Chain A
């Protein structure tokens, strides 16, 4: 399914390459597909109700922008530094979460989201170069082997993000299929039994925090150099809800559902734009209907249909 999705996405510029607006939407779909996939890995597979994904994205984007502007680091390296720094923050956030369960993890991780905006806007933010309430307005564009990517010609940018998204999705798929993925699922299903079989909850929970925050932070870095400006507006509820809708539509714990969900959600969102103020209401209603009709999302439906056609009744397990 992953190969099929990326094969279709790879040829989309052939149809929409001439329309900058659509190319911009496709690039945003690629970015959100990675962020949502990371959220799915930590929440859907590892069973950790982390609500800090948007915060990690913002931390990564600011870090990359500050590192490239303040220390002259080329953007292509700055994004990896941003990923590393965000992974460190992810581990620090993950440590107290090891002692917590369910809703309490959601509260702790969402607290990181909530305190980030005043930190970035306040004196601390000003001191480290976030631009305070004004934000960052002129972030260096991405350069690679002497070529500078610009939003004026979005096709090269699209394929850069496409390669990054493919690489991230392959990493996530490999993790899910490896013993890491097995450990995540075992800990999600029964932590007591899993630990009594030798699975280290400490190690694997921190690993999933580190990996997902690294990829999310790195993607935030790419985003910063793509849009060229940053503000704390991203920490509003809109992006958070959009990512949640992406997960619900794609199917929680149904990788690569988050990738599919990103393209479908962003497309529906754009198609509903003529509705103006009624768009969020319509979007919300669609999500409610979808949750009721397809609790496992689009991928869950595809799996069900595929099993039905093969005459199998057993649910998809690893």
Chain B
């Protein structure tokens, strides 16, 4: 469904993503992990058109390299951000409407907006200003606005960051429901290995923008190269 082929991104002298290739199948929950600064969020920025790059990215056999972010969103690729992004000038409902109005190929659908609000458990806060939401609700809202675009792929950037164990369970449940009930393919950047091994079917580990290994999450997390990458040489 999504194919990233030999993608490289340089910021001046720094190579953030180095000749990276991977493929995400339809209906899959695909995990991306790696230490801080590994280039995980940069990969998202390349897929969603926020940065230009070398190499190619295709979605459903259509080359999306060089497309603008809003065109990529309308094709069916939605994302969230590591630091929750909301629109302080808008209410919760209006924020979700932005996704439905501008990002959905089928056009604005108020009924779908209401369904999404209920799905992310924000129906009773629909008229609240987004600035008044707590961190978890802000994350839910970001996911809700992304879902309102009726995406085929949803890319979540560290959704568990800053959450307590209860909130992590709620978010994990939500991600499962998005994947299983709505049939949306998920790409998940996460640091919590437990979350990745429980949710994903395939896991890619990168370090300094280069692939360390990719495959079954349980095998990948026990790979010595991954352990070394996370814990350093001194662990043994």
Residues of A within 8 A of B (CB): 179, 182-183, 185-186, 188-190, 192-202, 253, 314-315, 317-318
Contact = CB atoms under 8 A, between A and B. Distances in A.
Interface stretch (B53-61, B88-96, B163-171): B88-96
Contacts of B69: 192, 195-196
Nearest to B130: A317
A318 B91 contact: yes
Nearest to A200: B70
Interface stretch (B7-15, B28-36, B78-86, B195-203): B78-86
Contact of B73 (A195, A314, A318): A195
Interface residues of B, number: 37
Interface string B95-131: 1011101111000000000000000000000001111
Given A198-B99, A199-B102, A317-B129, A193 B70 contact: no
Contact of B87 (A193, A196, A198, A201): A193
A297 B89 CA distance: 17
A212 to B, nearest CB: 18
B81 A314 contact: no
A188 B79 CA distance: 19
A47 B131 CA distance: 18
Given A192-B50, A196-B78, A197-B73, A185 B90 contact: yes
Contacts of A189: 86-90
Contacts of A190: 85-87
26 contacts: A179-B101, A182-B101, A185-B89, A186-B90, A186-B98, A188-B89, A190-B85, A190-B87, A193-B142, A194-B98, A194-B102, A195-B70, A196-B48, A196-B69, A197-B78, A197-B148, A198-B70, A198-B74, A199-B70, A199-B103, A200-B70, A201-B70, A314-B128, A315-B131, A317-B89, A317-B131
B68 interface: yes
B145 interface: yes
Interface in B62-78: 68-70, 72-74, 78
A182 B131 CA distance: 16
Tell which of A192, A194, A198 has the most Cβ of chain B within 10 Å.
A198
B73 A196 contact: yes
B6 interface: no
Contact of B85 (A182, A193, A201): A193
A279 B94 CA distance: 45
Nearest to B77: A196
A226 B167 CA distance: 65
A179 B101 CA distance: 8
Q: Which 9 A-B pairs have the closest CB atoms?
A: A198-B103, A198-B102, A193-B85, A195-B69, A189-B87, A185-B89, A198-B73, A317-B129, A190-B85
A198 B150 CA distance: 11
Contacts of B102: 179, 183, 194, 197-200
B132 interface: yes
B149 interface: yes
Contacts of B88: 189, 317
B146 interface: yes
A193 B81 contact: yes
B143 to A, nearest CB: 12
A202 B145 CA distance: 21
Contacts of A253: 89
B76 to A, nearest CB: 10
A77 B73 CA distance: 42
Given A182-B90, A189-B90, A192-B81, A199 B98 contact: yes
A194 to B, nearest CB: 7
Contact of B146 (A197, A315, A317): A197
A259 B132 CA distance: 30
B145 A197 contact: yes
Given A182-B98, A192-B81, A193-B81, A315 B70 contact: no
A318 B89 contact: yes
A317 B90 contact: yes
B173 to A, nearest CB: 24
Given A185-B87, A317-B129, A196 B79 contact: yes
A52 to B, nearest CB: 23
Given A192-B50, A314-B132, A318-B94, A197 B99 contact: yes
A236 B197 CA distance: 66
Given A190-B87, A197-B98, 17 more contacts: A182-B90, A186-B95, A186-B98, A190-B85, A192-B50, A194-B87, A195-B50, A195-B69, A196-B48, A197-B102, A198-B73, A199-B70, A202-B68, A314-B132, A317-B90, A317-B91, A317-B94
